[in-house]
Chain A
Amino acid sequence: MIRRPLRPLARILAARAQGGDPGAIEAENLRLRNDARRDELRLRAQGRLFVMALCFLGAFTLIGTRMGTLAASEPAEPRLAASGEAIRASRADITDRNGRVLATNLATHSLYAQPEQIVDPARAARELAAIFPDLDEGALHRRFTDGRKFLWIRKTLSPEEMQKVHDIGEPGLLFGPREMRLYPNGRLAAHILGGASFGREGVHSAEVIGTAGIEKEYDAYLRDPALSGAPLVTSLDLSVQAVTEQVLGGGMRLLNAKGASAILMDVHTGELLAMASLPDFDPNDRPPPLTRGEAADSPIFNRAVQGVYELGSVFKIFPVAQALELGLAGPSTIIDTSGPMRVGGFSINEFRNKNFGEISVAEIVVESSNRGTGRLALQIGAERQKEFLGRFGFLEPTDVEMVEAPTGRPLPPQRWQELSTVTVSYGHGLSTSPLHLAAGYASLVNGGTRVRPTLLRQSGPQRGERLVSEETSRAVRTMLRQVVTEGTASFADVEGYHVGGKTGTADKPRAAGGGYYEDKVIATFASVFPAHAPEYVLVVALDEPMETSGEEPRRTAGWTAVPVAAEIIRRTAPLLGLRPSVDAPPLPALTPASNG
């Protein structure tokens, strides 16, 4: 800005020439300059005040709005709380992997009596006994008249029963609302679901609590109101489970077996698609545990999870896999399996005292040679064997999501010495549950990483620790496939599914201790399909089976467990979406022997 002079020469000279006062010009200019300065200062001050006012306005608006919303929203809150969200069935449903209901709730009524209000106790007792045959008329009448004020009669009523009781027209018989646990599929997956019963009971409501199985394991989750009734999604497939139970039940009857179990497991995710144990029960009416005799004879005993057995030759694949992994042998390494073989004072014999002579490691698995795996196990040594089996989870209970899982604790040999090393290599001396075996096979064939069995639907494969290399896993699958194509499990060759597996026929140890039964076995078949690209592992175990179509009864797994497993695979594989492939896939070539 150009500062204007106070005494501009031109105007002064002009004023002087006209006789004016040059001082007036200076004063005038000075006044103009002061005016301009004052205006500028005022404008600046006004601006500051305006900004200040805006700040205060903003602050007061904020506080005022907040107070307004607080004041306005307070009466609305109780209304929101009373909305429909709170009205929910109290216990969440359990569904299969596709959302089909396995357990749900049903609103029913309970029946109770207030004897003080009963007009005609004799008639009420007579009519009630007519409706419910299990009630005793005399006992009811006695209770109606002994002066008590309150009496439960039934915990749940069907609508028809309720109408009949209503028709008695007795004012002292009263109904209370009850929520009841219903298993619409009856016996299906009974051991997994477990059962439920009433906890604390009142006239107007009762707690439903899980008593066994996944119901008890997830009791807190199922009852959590914060989850607002989101169902518990299990890994089971309803159709696959139903088919497995049906085929297993048929096989058990045909083969005169005392009990049976089957486990179908995804080798990548560890999901249990089906798990059956027979005999079973109806979880809607769970039988009480046995008070006498063997607990394992009760139908509520879950053979697949709780039952620990010496499973026999199905274990042979583990010492072989370890020998491959350690580089002690390759599939075509020749091992001398001829007798006699004495370890720790005991003679190790083959099945039916056969003698296989010098055979390759693959043939040891195919022919199921006890001395062959025994010799490999002696090379491996007790310490390494124990550590290897431990990493597969064979020495601790499974962590499957059932309350019974910790009771399925394996029984390892008390002193793991040379003899135990040899017997464990062919499946004796170490008792495990069929579920352990399924998990072990899954970990071995899926490429060699550990999978843990689970009953909940998973979103992706488990990435467990590596137990054996890809190469060992491939070689193991080739051997298992050879057992089916050339060995003891020829009945398992389901066309199109390239089943691989290993049979095991284990003599049952005497209950009183000391030796084994001659004519009681547990026949097991552990299989994987398809062997070239494994998807599922199926373990079938039959307790005391006997095949009687031949001249003398056959008990070996090849004649008992294998045909049952083959039928299960034939029926379930299509349901699992596996397309049978007619062309034989190229089997991986056997790796050359790396001896030493």
Chain B
Amino acid sequence: MSSINKDIRKTSHNNFTVIVNRFGVFFMILVLAVIGMLVSPNFLKASNLLNILNAVSYLGIVAAGISFVIYCGQYGDLSAPMTMATTGVICVEFMRYGLWYGIIAAMITGVVIGLLNGFVIGKLRVNAIIWTLAMNFILEGLVRWSYKGTQIYPDMATEKTYTTGFFLPLMAKLDPHIMELDLVSRAAEFNALATTYPGGVPLVLYVMFGVMIVGYIIMSKSTFGNQLKVVGSSFDVGKMSGINATRTVMFAFMMSSLFASVAGIFMTSLNQVGAFYIGQGYDFQAVTAIILGGMSLAGGRGSMIGVFGGVFTLGLISNILTLMGVGTFTQKMITGAIFITVVAVNARSLRKLGRDYA
């Protein structure tokens, strides 16, 4: 048939786009690395590289989670910041029973938030941006209201804690002995989470890599991940392939909130305080990293490796600009401009190839 030639031509284009899509971000990293070396001789030092990674480790954890949502074709999870804050607060509340109680309670909270998001979006088909934004506000309201706008410190004096907390007054009523718990050492244990350096590397960096590896396996190798790919590419096709599409969407949002809760725990530990503002801005940054990493906003395309690339790119940009003496706010501006440019160029090139846009 005469369509043979056409097919071959299209296929080769296709592979090219795939390569650009998958590895474009690493090309960007390469360019940035060269610029970095030119800017400062300290750039390539192990300590600096570790700094870069450390600086983006929280972002990496959040982005790994949100990437599931974007892979699922749902634009993003804007409830991530408040999920971080809420789970951080929950962790502080429950850690008084023991560190693991706190961590597990926080993660369960994350899972619940994610499942709720996923249900509303996967079942009622609400626009994910609107719903997760609404969810973010609801959570913010809940946290602020529960704590009357105050912050909650892990080592807060017992008496005061058990009157201002939300669950704690309840727990104190049920179990009066709780007041006698050794809060100070518990708090020290909790606060140490973010400042432990096993083998000279921050614990949170191990966690980020752990989360990303787990995320990679789930996204690319697991049953769920492959169903997610189909549902992400087209919700209706997924549904008509005998995949429980609603459940799959719920799963994606659950992953997002679960990972956000992990980041929330560390972030709270780093700040040594549980408060509603923990995690602000992480949603937008994470989406930036994910899109830079080549994941398509249309869903079903991209991988965790790209997400890592995107996160690392943001770290590099920030590091290089710092080395150049550029202030934080100008950095933010430059990052935003780079993001818009990359997305626009990417959309243009994909469209030229007759493909969908970012």
- A and B: interacting chains: no
